[in-house]
Structure formats: C-alpha cells, structure tokens
Structure 1
Amino acid sequence: PAEDILVAALRLAPTNTDILITLGQLYLQTEDFNRVQGVVGTLRRIGSDAAIQAANGIEAERLSGQSGIDSALSFLDDLATGAETNLATKIGLVRARLNIKDKTGALALARALKNENPDDETLDFVLASTQVANGDLDAAATLYRDLLATNPIRPRIWLELSRLELRQGDPDAAEATIDEGLDHLPKNPELLWAKASLAERDGNIDGAIDIYQALYEDNSNSIVVANNLASLLATYREDEESLNRAWSIARRFREANAPALMDTFGWILHRRDNSAEALPYLEAAAKGLPEDAIVQYHLGQAYISQNRPQDALEQFRKAVSVAGAADTRPQIEEARALVQSLQKSPTIEN
C-alpha cells in the first residue's frame, strides 16, 4: 500500500518535506485526521519556510474536512494577521485558500499582497494563479506576458501561459507559446516535453518521438522520458528496429508497478510474441488506467493472442467507449472493427 511505502521512505529521510506532504495528503483522503495532525506537527518541528507553509495548508484542509470550512477560514485569517507571519507564509496561505476551494478569498489575499509589495514579481505569478482559479484567464494571460517581457528566461511561465491558452480553446496559440519559449530556452527539458506532448496530441507521432529521443539522449535516467519514448516506438511503429529500440529502453520496467510503465513493458512483450508473460502487466495497467483507451486496446490484443475472444471483445468495447466517437487513432479504428467482427463470432456471448 502507498502508506507503507511512504512510511518506509520517511524512516530513511525523516525530514523530507515532500514525503511528509504526500503522506499528509494521503491521510486527508482517507480522513485519518489524527495522523494528519501528526504530519502537521512534524512539519512544524522541521521549521523551514516550505515546511511551515505545507503544515498550514494541510492543517487548513484538515479543519475544512473535520470541522467545516468556517473553521478552516478562521484558522487562515488568524495566520494572515499574525505578527510573525512573513511574506512567504502569506503566499502559502493563498495556496491554502485555493486548496479549500475559497477561490474568492485567495484572489483577495493575492491582490492585497501585491498592493503591499508592488515590486515583488513573485506576487504577479501568485496573482495570475488565483485569477486562473477564478476564471479570469485574460487577466492572467496579461500578467504572464508582462512577466515574460521583463525576463523571458522563465520556463515555468511559458508553460503556464501555454496551459492557459489550451484552456481558452486555442491549441495553435499554446503551441506557438511553447515555440516562443524554446526560442529563448532551446534546450529546456520542460518546454521540449510540452512540445512533444502537443505533437503527440496533434497526431504528429514522429515529431514527438524525435523530441523524446533527444531528451533521452540528454538524460537516459529519466523514467518518464524513457517510458514515453519506448511506448510511442512500440505502439506506433511496426519495424523491427524500432521494436528492438523500445525493448532496450524499457527492459528496466520489469519490476515496475506504475500502470503506465506496466503497459509499456507488457505491450513490448506482446509485440515480441511473449503475450502470456505480457498479460499480468497489461491487466494491471488496464485496471490502473481505466480512462486510457490505448491501454484497454493493448490488453484486448493480448487476449486475442491467447485465444480469449470474449475477454478481448469486452476490452475493445471499453477502448471504443473511452475513446469516444471522434477518436480516429488507428488503434481505436481497429478496436471498432474488431468489436464488429467478434460480435459475429458464434463463440461470443453478446
């Protein structure tokens, strides 16, 4: 279970703020409020700005869940007016208000902080984030553009502006923003990753593979880059060289338990005619990623190879349902055709 893994990791690194935050969020999800308080206490004893901000945010979420939002808001108001509260803590309180769904309060606090600190550009980013949360996308975009005009060497802001443009329904503008960012930061891995993701979404698989290949050559230790490269090679290319390349990259995933990695490893096993060995990986991946149509398709193909047409039909139906009528990817089109042909088989129960 996730808790066991996190607790074991925490024993090795008892002051690791990231582990404590993840553990606190897990306890919030399970409403184990006593353990939440334990995490908050540990973060406060660590005492760094990051730890205190995290403690305040988790405590506000605990109060909201256990005693109601009024208790959480009262707690945050007391913190905001405390004599020892510094700017970093107040920025943390903006995030805490967003986490408890007090979007209006978060925006008001962000505006107040900016008015008090007009020369602090960090607060422009905080204010833009709260404007996005409140649906004022145009105002947020203006702030992001102002920040980039002052200093374009800010990959995070290029990424946020691109995401905002996607939310506005303008994928061309989002792609142009990433390209503009890459003009200033041509080797930035985050911007390259975003460009690859947009290429993949637009069906430019070869373009995405080229970018992931470059990222992999720069950092072959990145599991996420390795997985995306191997997955695209095995899913969209049929030649033996690409399959062998995918296998050489993904062999490290044999012991992985993340669904995306299990899908990649299992699909490559299937493509290499080891469908029986692939099945446990693909079944776990399909269970862990129920909204990924390609993952459902992969499992269906493995069932076909193992002469399990009834199970295959169910998987292809899932793939088609998840993908939706507008999806024209070749795997989904094949899944639709297989649903039709399998339904006609005399061995199938419809």
Structure 2
Amino acid sequence: MLKPVKATIGTLLASGAAIVSAALFTLAATVPASADAGTARLSLARSLAMLKTGNISAARNHAQAAIKQDPNWGLAHAVLARAFLALGDGIGAEAELDRAKAAGFDAKRAQQLYAHAYLLQGDAKRAATTAATAEPRFAGYAIRVGARALAAQGDLPGAQRALSNLLSAAPGDSAAWSDLGRVRYNSGDVAGAIDAATKAGELDPANLEALTLRGELVRTQYGLVAALPWFEAALARDAYYHPALIEYASTLGDAGRYGDMLDATRRALASRPDSAQAFYLQAVLAARAGNYDLARTLMQRTGGTLSGLPGALLLEGTLDYQAGGYEQAINKWRELVARQPMNITARRLLGAAMLRSGDAQGALDVLRPVALRFDADSYTLTLVARAFERTGERDWAGKYLDRAAFPVRDASVPFGTDDSLTVLGGLANDNPDDPVRRMVFLRALVDAGENGQALDQAQALTRLSPGAPAAWLAVGDMQMVLKRYGEAAAAYRRAADIRFDEPTMLRTVDALDRAGHRPEASNVLALFLSQNPQNIAGQRLAAHWQLASGEFDAAIETLEGLRQRVGNRDAALLTELAYAYLGDDDDATGLSYAKAAYRLAPLNPVVTDAYGWALYQSGNNGAAAQLFEKAVAIAPEHAMLRWHLGQVYAELGRGADARGQIDAALSDPSFEDRDAAAALLKTLA
C-alpha cells in the first residue's frame, strides 16, 4: 500500500501528465550544458507542448531531437521517458530515466515515473513499492500507478477504492478517471467504465487513453463500426499512438476491412518496430487468408511475448495443428482451456486434437462438460461418439450419434460445479458483495433445478452490480427457463444497453421471437449486423429468417457468403442453401447442395428431409419417399417431416398413408403450414 503523504491539494492530486509537464517546464529554465543550448531548449519546449495536446509521438520525436542536440541534458532524457510512458513503452522509459539520473536529473523527482515503467514491464509489485516512495507533490500520479498495480495483481476492488479516494479530492483529474474506467471495465462494470471514460474525455479531450478506452467500450456496447470513430479521434491527435492503432486494427479486421487493418498494423510497427501485438494481428490476417507459413513467421517475430494470451494460444495451436504438430497444438489448447474452462471453442479444438492423436479418453474428459449441455452442437456430440467408439463403448457412441443427428437443440445452460449447494450457498452468504460467488451459487441452483431461488440470486446480482451485463443476462436466462419470454427480453435489453455482443444479441432475438415480437427481433438482428457485418452467427440467423419469409435471392447471397468463409463441410449451411435454391426455382443447384449435405450427415433428419425435398421437387417421388420415411423414423415428433412425407404419399396415390402423416402434423400446435395441410387433407377424403 502507498504511504500517506501530506501536501497542498493542487500539488498532491494533479494528474500525472500535468505534474510532469509543470515540473519539467519549471526545470526548463536551466540552461543545458552544450553549445546547442538554444536549439535543445526549443526542441524540448515543443516536446512538452505536444504532450499537452496529446501528440505523444511528436513529443517523443522532439525530445529525441533535444537529446541529440545535447546528449547530457538530464531534463531532456526525463521528458523522453515521460513520452515513452504515455506510449506504453516501459523498457524505453526506464532506460531514459537512468540516463536522466546519470546526467544529473534529481532521482527524487522520478520515482513515480520509475514505478510506471515497472508497471508497464509487468512488475506490479515493484511498481507499487516504488510508487510508495514518490515525493508528496507527485502523490496523485503515484496513487494512480499504485492502483493500477493493485488491479494487475487481481485486487480490482482495492484499485477502485484507491482511485475513488483520489477522485473525491481531485475530481478534475482526467487521467485518474480513465484509470478508473479501465479498472471498472476489467471488473465487468461496463456501465461504470463508460461513465468514467466519458468523464475523463470531457475533462481532457487530449487524453488518448480515455479516447482509446471509449473506443473499446463503444465496441462492446454498440458494435465494431460504431467504435471506429473513437479510435480515429485518438489517431487524429497522434497518428502513431500505438495502443489506439492496435485496437483500431483489431476492430477493422473483425469488421472485414482487412486492407485497412493491414495499414493500421504497419503504422503500429512504424511507431514501435518490435510491436508483438502488430505482428500477432498480421499473423491472424495471414491465417485467415490461408497463408499459414507467413502466419508462423509473423508469430515467431512476436518473440513469445504473447504466448500466454488466449488469442495467441488459440492461433498458435491452430498453426501447429494445421502443420500436423498435434502434440504441440494439444499443449497450447490445454493451457487455454485451463485458463478459460468455459471456452467451448477451445474445448472442441482440444478434444478433436486429442482424439486424432489417439487419446480417446482424454478427449472424453475434455468434451464432457460441453457434451452434457442440452444445447451441445452436433460436431461436439459426434466427436464424443467417435471417442466412445475408440474406447469400445459402442452403446454410448450410439446415444451420442443419435443426439448429434437430432435437429433441435435446447436452450443453453451454464457449466456445472462439483461443490454442494450448501457449501456454495455458505460461501455466497459469507461474502454477499462478491458477484463471482453469487454467480457460482446461481449455476449450482440451476443444475439442482431450483429455478426460483436461482432467479432470486440473479436479481440480487443486478442490485449488487447494475452496470455488469452478466447480471442482467443471468436474470434473462432464468426467465427463459421459466418460459417468461417477455420478462427475459426486457432483461436482455438491459444487458444489450451495456454490452451488445453476439451472445447478448442471440438471447435478445430469441426471447423477442418466442414472445411473439418477430419484427422487433428482426430489428435487433439488423442493428447488430450493421455494426458487426462479418459475424457468422448473425449472418446464419439472418439467412434463416430470409428463407422463412421467402426472400430466396437474399438468402442465397447471405449463405453463399458464409460458405466462402466456413467452407463446404457444414451440413446445416449446405441444407439451407439447398432450400434457398429450390425456393428460387433452381432445382438442379438445390439438389446438388442437398446431396452434399446428406453425404456429410446422413443420420440428421433435417438434412435427410432436405435431400428428399430436393428429389421431390425434381419429380423423383419414389426416392423422395424413402428419404422422408427415414427422416420421420429418426425424428417422429417433427411435424414438418410428416407433412413432407404426407405430400409425397399423396403424389404416389397412397391416400390413407398421406392422411395419417398429415393428421400427425396437424396435431402439433406449433406446425405452421396448417392451411395447406388442411386443404390437401380435404382432397384425400
């Protein structure tokens, strides 16, 4: 913890940038030792002016010019260190501070700067210790560094308290507000982070950290496209501000603007030639383009500095797997799953790699938490089935193959827990202000079927953390379990107001649709896609609704775009393409897609039905009837399958059989083609 200090309020609590600028301007009156004193002073004055206006890269360049003109001027080295700190370069800052000290700069004036440098280098403990030795006049800066050090060590509440105390005494400290916004964001309080970042920007429009954070928050709150102007605003002040360039490039890539993404990474490398983040983003871009050799080369240039980050682990594992290095991929994905145990994509990849390497039991252990979910995807279920086949348990393999073939998945549920309700409830009660423990207890209640109590816990979470979207999502999820779709939609809207990402969008759309508000659900989907045009889940849902509304040309365009991105091994995608082309009266193309889907998933009743429907549209009623019969045998409760079988029976002159299938379809209240079915039934009477 920082030592208590005493000083005047103006000196004590000024922001870090203001403290350094004021101190350095005061010292600028000291004439440098070289013959180029006037030129060096002019360069340093320009550097300080650029710091104030937010053009940090220019400030760095002018400070470097001052040092070139007078290498032994300690003040110039200190100003350059300040610029490096603002650019996030802790190593460069420490080196310049050492040079400043060697040239006679008072070390007592630099402790808060050294602390910041250590923090940027990842040494949070040393940063906190050093910050505690800062002089009273620099205490505001030191408190900020100490708070960020607490956050880096996982003490987010402590960091928030320190910053809140600082801001209660100095509410005009823009840098402290942006630091508070970052801490709140990392703790899940998105609404609180937005408030803090907004305040920081209002107090100092040149606060590049605040502008960049606002971009990240807008990206979370509204979407990719809406975030771009915020990063561009930061870059308008400093075209080579590295943190904004990295976030800008990442956002451009996710929005599908790959050329602009590449340009941004190149600017980032011009700003920082050894930028691991820029090389990583270029590697992602190369991998997306299928140039895996280039992606590997670029990842090697990161120097391993990002190896522990989830995105890097996922990419490196993918590159290893693509090259046949299954053990290396397994090691990386295993580490990713250990860090993010609820990352379904990582578990799926790890399970597939382990199965391919011959470790069927290991694959089962990894995939079990996903496969036990009611909404488990068919690929995961198929992997589990193949793993059971490898272990000789063919009865279990058959059960999971049956689940993989079934066309409908239930609503999602959270992963379970091995602790008892009593233990988890006690932990939650012992720490009523800990949202993490409340969430774990909530999940345990869901697993135990105690849905009423789970809803109470979820609602308590919203009172505890009203700015956390996860709390509102939990309320919505419980309302969905209780089939209160309108209430669920309202809770999801609250979450979407804070964080409008893919999971929130899908939940909101589903709840609105189930509540009978399809137009509103369509608007939510359209808004999401306007901000996230490359999102695969959103594009899939849009195509599905285009098919349902008879917009076959639009569906074909959407689905073909998806096929170019995900390939030709997605049976569900190929099935929807078949229906789209059949609806557009292109029976030959529809049949080819239906046949391709059937080759991939011959036990899936929806895929089988689509192939039968394509044959039926082509006039091959006999073959169509066989496929419809197979589909109904697999999923006898699916009304649409029976309706299709009834139609082909009618065409074949099997009136009694047709009536039986149509009656079965009409007995399902959710069956939508009731008028057409009733009309055909009358002709068969």
> TM-score surpassing 0.5?
yes
Equivalent in the alignment of 1:38: none
Q: Does 1:164 align with 2:164?
A: no
Equivalent-residue separation in structure 2 for 1:206 and 1:315 (angstroms): 31
Which deviations, in whole Å up to 9, do the C-alpha atoms of 1:271-330 show, x marking residues without a partner? 3444433333211212334454432232123334555333223223333444779746xx
Q: Does 1:226 align with 2:580?
A: no
Q: Is the 8 A contact 2:662 2:681 kept in 1?
A: yes
Which deviations, in whole Å up to 9, do the C-alpha atoms of 1:52-83 show, x marking residues without a partner? x8452xx68xxxxxxxxxxx754653565699
Equivalent in the alignment of 2:367: 18
Equivalent-residue separation in structure 2 for 1:225 and 1:288 (angstroms): 20
Shift of 1:213: 3.4
Equivalent-residue separation in structure 2 for 1:226 and 1:293 (angstroms): 22
Query: Tell me, which stretches of 5 or more residues in structure 1 are unaligned?
Result: 1-5, 27-52, 61-71, 344-350
Equivalent in the alignment of 2:587: 243
Correspondence list, 1:1-350, <5 A: 11=360, 13-14=362-363, 16-22=365-371, 54-56=415-417, 73-74=421-422, 76-77=424-425, 80=428, 90-113=438-461, 120-133=468-481, 141=489, 144-152=492-500, 154-220=501-567, 221-234=569-582, 236-237=583-584, 239=585, 242-252=586-596, 253-254=598-599, 256-322=602-668, 327=673, 333=676, 335-343=677-685
SS class of match (2:363): coil
Shift of 1:114: 5.1
Q: Is the 8 A contact 1:293 1:323 kept in 2?
A: no
SS class of match (1:187): coil
SS class of match (2:603): coil
Equivalent in the alignment of 1:46: none
- AA of the residue aligned to 2:657: D
SS class of match (2:684): helix
Equivalent-residue separation in structure 2 for 1:199 and 1:251 (angstroms): 22
TM-score, with length taken from structure 2:
0.36
Shift of 1:156: 1.7
- Closer/same/farther in 2, CA of residues 150 and 316 from structure 1, 3 Å limit: closer
Equivalent-residue separation in structure 2 for 1:184 and 1:324 (angstroms): 33
Q: Looking at both structures, which has the greater relative contact order when contacts are Cα pairs under 8 Å and sequence separation is at least 6? A: 2
SS class of match (1:165): helix
- Closer/same/farther in 2, CA of residues 88 and 276 from structure 1, 3 Å limit: farther
Equivalent-residue separation in structure 1 for 2:683 and 2:653 (angstroms): 15
Shift of 1:191: 1.6
Which deviations, in whole Å up to 9, do the C-alpha atoms of 1:83-117 show, x marking residues without a partner? 9xx96675343233234332231133234445555
- Closer/same/farther in 2, CA of residues 280 and 12 from structure 1, 3 Å limit: farther
Which deviations, in whole Å up to 9, do the C-alpha atoms of 1:10-41 show, x marking residues without a partner? 82643553345535879xxxxxxxxxxxxxxx
Which deviations, in whole Å up to 9, do the C-alpha atoms of 1:210-252 show, x marking residues without a partner? 4333323332332221112213433x34x3xx21112222223
Runs of 4+ in 1 over 6 A off after TM superposition: 135-139, 323-326
Shift of 1:184: 1.0
- Closer/same/farther in 2, CA of residues 75 and 273 from structure 1, 3 Å limit: farther
- Closer/same/farther in 2, CA of residues 222 and 158 from structure 1, 3 Å limit: same
Equivalent-residue separation in structure 1 for 2:416 and 2:482 (angstroms): 25
SS class of match (1:14): helix
Q: Is the 8 A contact 2:469 2:498 kept in 1?
A: no
Equivalent-residue separation in structure 1 for 2:472 and 2:610 (angstroms): 41
Q: How many residues in Structure 1 have an aligned counterpart in Structure 2?
A: 287
- AA of the residue aligned to 1:270: Y
Q: Is the 8 A contact 1:275 1:305 kept in 2?
A: yes
Equivalent-residue separation in structure 2 for 1:77 and 1:342 (angstroms): 62
Q: What percentage of residue pairs aligned between the two structures are identical?
A: 23
Equivalent-residue separation in structure 1 for 2:481 and 2:456 (angstroms): 12
Equivalent-residue separation in structure 2 for 1:87 and 1:18 (angstroms): 28
- Closer/same/farther in 2, CA of residues 305 and 168 from structure 1, 3 Å limit: closer
Q: Is the 8 A contact 2:486 2:512 kept in 1?
A: no
- Closer/same/farther in 2, CA of residues 247 and 341 from structure 1, 3 Å limit: same
Shift of 1:185: 1.0
- Closer/same/farther in 2, CA of residues 270 and 164 from structure 1, 3 Å limit: closer
Query: Tell me, which stretches of 5 or more residues in structure 2 are unaligned?
Result: 1-350, 376-413
Whichever of the two has the greater Rg, that structure is 2
TM-score, with length taken from structure 1:
0.65
- Closer/same/farther in 2, CA of residues 143 and 273 from structure 1, 3 Å limit: closer
Task: Report the more deviating stretch, 164-173 or 195-204.
Answer: 195-204
- Closer/same/farther in 2, CA of residues 247 and 318 from structure 1, 3 Å limit: same
